[in-house]
Structure 1
Amino acid sequence: MTYVHHPYLSRRGFCLCCVGATTFAATGGWPSPSEVFAQAKTIVDNIRASAAEASIKIHKLRGNVNVLEGSGGNIAVLTGSDGKVLVDAGITASRPRILEALGSLSKDPVRYLINTHWHFDHADGNEWLRKEGATIIAHENARKHLAEATRVEDWNFNFPPSPADAVPSEVVATDRTLKANGATLALKYYGPSHTDGDLSVTFMEADILHTGDTYWNGFYPFIDYSTGGSIDGTIRAAEANLAAAQDNTIVIPGHGPPASNKTELKAYRDMLVDIRDKVAALKKQGRSLDDTIAAKPTASYDAKWGQFAVNPSLFTKLVYMGI
């Protein structure tokens, strides 16, 4: 597989989840482990190189909450005299531009960083943000994956243990409430969904919900089976997000346009359920993975949802794995 640079890479960051997808589309078959491993290293290098050059766009929401777009997942920032609170850390190579963006919002120091989950494109900046003064908070399973060597089979990639300063110092088992800058932040564990350590963060007074990678706005999501994710867990998380959102709630997705809403959440949930059901019916008929992909169960959604890192073939594979 040769990864072709996608314009979304520099604008919205990129999760390593496209490993294998382009090869399938080009050759009709999944690459060998050695091929994927070599390509994964190149993708990591490409991500970091792109993040080093990408601009950071600031989206002003409400209640002193902004979103930084352009380094990995969407980063939420709450400003105020108590110090900034960040939700997700982006990619380390973006540090100069993230610092510039943070400085343009306020001169207050960084006080807290909340990781929605452990993945590289959301937690790579942990170490430097800790050195800026952030206390890092994550679910206990996310902390575990950051603290030890973790393998993601679908990327055929082994992540080494993170440096000590990158490992969260405070953990959430189920729920936690954090008070800062006159705001109440509700942290809630989804249960196994995208991974086994995903948190949502709700800015209560501002009515803003950050979903991390349990929601990809306009894109098929990656599901990390190696660290506890599943299609059914992803659907349960989508249901939880939909239940938590009101008509006026601003929803920040892990990837995609950073100010979404309940209507778009519902479309995402409905897409997941419909494709899961179609793939389940094909698998029940005894169809192999290759036959299921050839049947194109995602076809009616591909124009809208299949234009980013997870293409229709890879998403069909991810759904098939969980049925």
Structure 2
Amino acid sequence: MISDQHNISRRNFLSSAGLLTAGALIAPKILFAQAKALGPVEIIIKAAATSKINVTKLRGNIFMLDGSGGNIAVLNGPEGKLLVDAGIGVSKPHVFSALNSISKNPIKVLINSHWHFDHTSGNEWIHEAGATIIGQDITREHLTKSIHQEDWNYTFKPLPKQALPTVLFKTEHEHQFNGEKIHIQTYQPAHTDCDSSIYFPNADILHVADTFWNSYYPMIDYSTGGSIDGMITAAARNVARTTNKTIIIPGHGAVGNRAQLIDFHEMLVTIRQRVAKLKNQGRSLKEVIAAKPTASYDKKWGGFVIKGDFFTMLVYKGV
């Protein structure tokens, strides 16, 4: 995940994806000129069809896959494989090959961390492979209907019935598998209104999905209840739930640790304060963007799909 090979793979994905990944948007006017005929989501899907899947061994029998939208956790053992998130459906051959490189054990369980397509559009083939799908009730509800995401200018269609979670929970759920008592717990609205964390206590590994983008500005999806204040609250909760020994799997970015969670929380708090102060002075969105409230953070956090100006817009929208 943190190797040069991984960094090259990520750069290639970005160049083919037009600086865009699911859960994040760069305004269409700055997409590559040759990609103008395609919308941002179509560009992502096209890129995911050929993107390399990287496998990182974490601790014990838990691995992380990246390269198909959101990061995928894999718990492997004699009972089979349990996955957290499904990636993008067109990545199936590459994800399947990566899973087989871990073991030939069948896929038995899939947990959806939230509804976004880069975490769920692989649900159908993973269910067909034999997995029972677990998800929050709100996640299932979103996946049963069309959702127009204004910032992406894209309408997501419902998933087929066989791709929907069938084991549902409202606030928390426990699942015993391969010797791990996996604890799933929801957040208050943050990245969306249906975010969940997934904790593997024996290994002390916490998958926080898109409530944490490691070293990147995050997307906040206001179309389904996202909130900058909720992101800050979720980040603080993630810090409180971890120790210096905990391995953190972010929704996007490299495998993380508690110190990086603390940096992420501090960045969110500071930028929110700066943007709110300017907005309360009566400044327009254009004026606030021109003031560059993210400038001191852009070098570290603006190197992936969301740049400082776009993140300023997202924060402005929520304060």
User: 1:184 maps to which residue?
Assistant: 181
Q: CA deviation at 1:233?
A: 0.5
Q: 2:5 maps to which residue?
A: none
Please state whether the residue corresponding to 2:82 is helix, strand or coil.
strand
- CA offset at residue 43 of structure 1? 2.3
**What is the aligned partner in structure 2 of residue 282 from structure 1?**
278
Q: 1:13 to 1:59 in 2, by over 3 A?
A: farther
Counterpart residue number, 1:319 = 315
Structure 1: where are the runs of 5+ without partners? 27-37
The aligned residue for residue 116 of structure 1 is 113
Query: 1:139 and 1:220 mapped to 2: Cα distance?
Result: 25
AA aligned opposite 2:311: F
Deviation at 1:45? Answer: 2.5
- TM-aligned CA distance change 1:43 to 1:269, over 3 Å: same
- Structure 1 counterpart SS, 2:289: helix
The answer to whether the Cα contact below 8 Å between 1:84 and 1:109 also exists between their aligned partners in 2 is yes
Matched, 1:207 2:204: yes
Q: Deviations over 1:96-144 (max 9, x none)?
A: 1111111121121111101111101111100000100111111111111
- Tell me: CA distance 1:15–1:77, structure 2 relative to 1, closer, same or farther (3 Å): same
Does the Cα contact within 8 Å between 1:185 and 1:204 map onto a contact in 2? yes
2:155 corresponds in structure 1 to: 158
| Structure 1 residue 279: Cα displacement | 0.3
Residue in 2 that maps onto 1:30 = none
CA distance in 2, matches of 1:138, 1:198: 10
What is the CA distance between 1:7 and its match in structure 2?
3.5
The structural deviation recorded for 1:40 is 9.2
CA distance in structure 2 between the aligned counterparts of 1:189 and 1:319, rounded to whole angstroms: 22
Q: What is the CA distance between 1:250 and its match in structure 2?
A: 0.3
Q: Distance in 2 between matches of 1:300 and 1:41?
A: 33
The amino acid that maps onto 1:111 is K
The alignment partner of 1:253 has SS state of strand
- 5+ residue gaps, structure 2, are 1-9
Whole-angstrom distance in 1 between the partners of 2:198 and 2:302: 27
- Over the residues paired in the alignment, what is the CA RMSD in angstroms? 2.1
TM-score by structure 1 length?
Answer: 0.90
CA distance in 2, matches of 1:299, 1:77: 37
Percent identity over paired residues? 50
**Residue equivalent to 1:23:** 29
- When the two structures are superposed, what TM-score results if normalisation uses the length of structure 2? 0.91
> Displacement, 1:42?
2.8
What's the counterpart of residue 261 of structure 2?
Answer: 265
Structure 2 residue 181 is matched with structure 1 residue 174:
no
Measured after TM superposition, the shift of residue 23 of structure 1 is 2.9
Contact 1:279 1:320 in 2 (8 A): yes
Number of the residue aligned with 1:306: 302
2:22 is matched by which residue type in structure 1? C
Give the length in aligned residue pairs.
306
Matched residues in 2 for 1:24 and 1:320: separation? 21
